Amino acid sequence: MGISFAGELKRKTVTPEAAAAQVKSGDWIDYGFGVGQPDLFDRALAERIRRLERVRLRATLSMRPRAVVEADPEARHLEMYSWYFSGLERALHDRGLCQHIPMNFGEAPDYYRRFCDVDVAILKTAPMDAHGFFNFGGAVTYHKALTEKARTVIVETDEAMPYVFGVENGVHLSAVDYVIDGGRGSMPELKNAPAGAIEQKIAGLIAAEIEDGACLQIGIGAMPNAVCELLVDSPVRDLGVHTEMFVDSLMKLYEAGKITGAHKTHDRFQMTYCFAAGSARLYEFLDRNPACFVGPVDYTNLPHRIMQNDRVVAICNAAQIDLSGQACAESAGIRQISGTGGQLQFMRGAYASRGGKAFLCLSSTYERNGRRESRIVARIAECNIVTTPRTDVMYVVTEYGIANLKGKSVPDRARALINLAHPDFRESLEREAREYRLLPRRFM
């Protein structure tokens, strides 16, 4: 006969208000990541935050507004920090209500175990299973390390959270201090903007580079997802998945029979990921699906693990790249847009993989204040953050073509990138390249 945890669960189950009462002035609290962030607790803490002083909150990739932040609009009682901004956190940052913590995503569990203080961790999970575990569902990421480090662990259960298979994917009741029974709520959904003509052109160039048996990493955004849409109708087959983020386009690719994982070294025949964000149907797809294997972010994102699969294809976005090849994907000057996330680690892991390919994709231009500007520039804009150093950039793709920078000199890189720029900017880029001595005079 199995062990019954019903009595212990009942003793630890409290109201959101009682759980929120555990937070004291000066505490570091942590809401965790993405769909794993609490809602009932958040609203309860919002009711009492003005009676507290200097509470510090980490909450990464928030997919719903955080009531506790909005309850303190002048940040007199609460300081919020995020490892990676969602659109909501970006807006809070613009208002001075959220600050960024730089990191390589794959190092996050180690950050918690070695460097981060956590007084209270509050995570949304699936309801307790028959073995006494609360499954982290669509937000495994660094949550196991977080529960190990926190002095007080609170879980808020939601029947809508998918139950996922993998490693370090839950916390046992014995390690939990308080439980909030959230009944059945709804998961926050993430909708990607549809791909336009430019995104479709870039996606087509990348899709043509993907071979049978390739192992995919697909990030957030219209362009990476457009690649999957094209692969659905392509002849390519036996693809694998080893990614940080599981998205709807991977589900569609799997349902089209394109993904088998037959050529993977790690988690063969399974799609590996560390968190999910997408539609309600995606969460239903992941629920108890043995075709999917979830692990913490140091399982998915560290380069030495990524490279052990052959023909890894990493597809990431950039906001700006200069003529030497260094790329910015996370800021617009002093304005933090997102974060480093897993980009640098997947660029390195994919390149090191046997037959691997790492793609940075970007439209050649963007609109600012009614003017068209080039994303390819002579020098990275002042205050922009370099996400991927020039030594780590492999393929760069715009709607005007694709160039591999590996092994190229600075002048050859400059020429290749000028050819990927919008034609209206190529002459000025070449002139600036001479001015900055990126192109030797004797070749002019």
List pLDDT tens digits, range 339-379.
999 999 999 999 999 999 999 999 999 998 889 999 999 99
Instruction: Please give the share of the chain, as a percent, with pLDDT higher than 70.
Output: 99
156, 244, 399, 430: which one is catalytic?
Answer: 244
Lowest mean pLDDT among 44-48, 157-161, 335-339: 335-339
What would the pLDDT profile of 192-242 be if each residue is shown by its tens digit? 778 889 999 999 999 999 999 999 998 777 888 889 989 998 999 999 999
Q: What is the pLDDT of residue 444?
A: 45
What would the pLDDT profile of 254-297 be if each residue is shown by its tens digit? 999 999 999 999 999 999 999 999 999 999 999 999 999 999 99
How far apart (Å, rounded) are the C-alpha atoms in residues 242 and 218?
Answer: 9
Handedness of CA 434, 439, 326, 376 (dihedral sign): positive
Residue 152 CB neighbours (<10 A): 17
- Among left, alpha and beta (phi > 0; psi -120 to 50; other), residue 32 is left
Q: What is the pLDDT of residue 8?
A: 96
Q: What is the pLDDT of residue 442?
A: 59
CATH number listed for the domain at residues 197-443: 3.40.1080.20
**197-443 and 6-181 share a CATH fold:** yes
Q: What is the pLDDT of residue 383?
A: 86
Instruction: Please give the share of the chain, as a percent, with pLDDT higher than 90.
Output: 92
Work out the pLDDT band at 64, boundaries 50, 70, 90: very high
Work out the pLDDT band at 124, boundaries 50, 70, 90: very high
Q: What mean pLDDT comes out for the span 398-416? A: 97
Domain residue spans in the chain?
A: 6-181, 197-443
Asked if 149 and 112 touch (Cβ cutoff 8 Å), the reply is: yes
Q: Does the pLDDT value for residue 123 go beyond 50?
A: yes
3-class secondary structure, 27: coil
* Residue predicted with more confidence, 382 or 387: 387
- Among left, alpha and beta (phi > 0; psi -120 to 50; other), residue 36 is alpha
Q: What is the pLDDT of residue 443?
A: 47
The residues, any chain, with a CB within 8 Å of residue 97's CB and separated by 6 or more, are 69, 73, 75, 80
SS3 sequence, 319-342? CEEECCCCEECCEECCEECCCCCC
Q: Does the pLDDT value for residue 424 go beyond 50?
A: yes
CATH number listed for the domain at residues 6-181: 3.40.1080.10
How far apart (Å, rounded) are the C-alpha atoms in residues 141 and 236?
Answer: 30
Q: What mean pLDDT comes out for the span 141-159? A: 98
Q: What mean pLDDT comes out for the span 179-183? A: 97
Q: What mean pLDDT comes out for the span 421-442? A: 92
CA distances from 49 to 70, 97, 154, 181, 418 (A): 10, 14, 18, 22, 53
Residue positions counted in the chain: 444
Q: Is 244 a catalytic residue?
A: yes
pTM of the entire predicted model: 0.95
Q: What is the pLDDT of residue 138?
A: 96
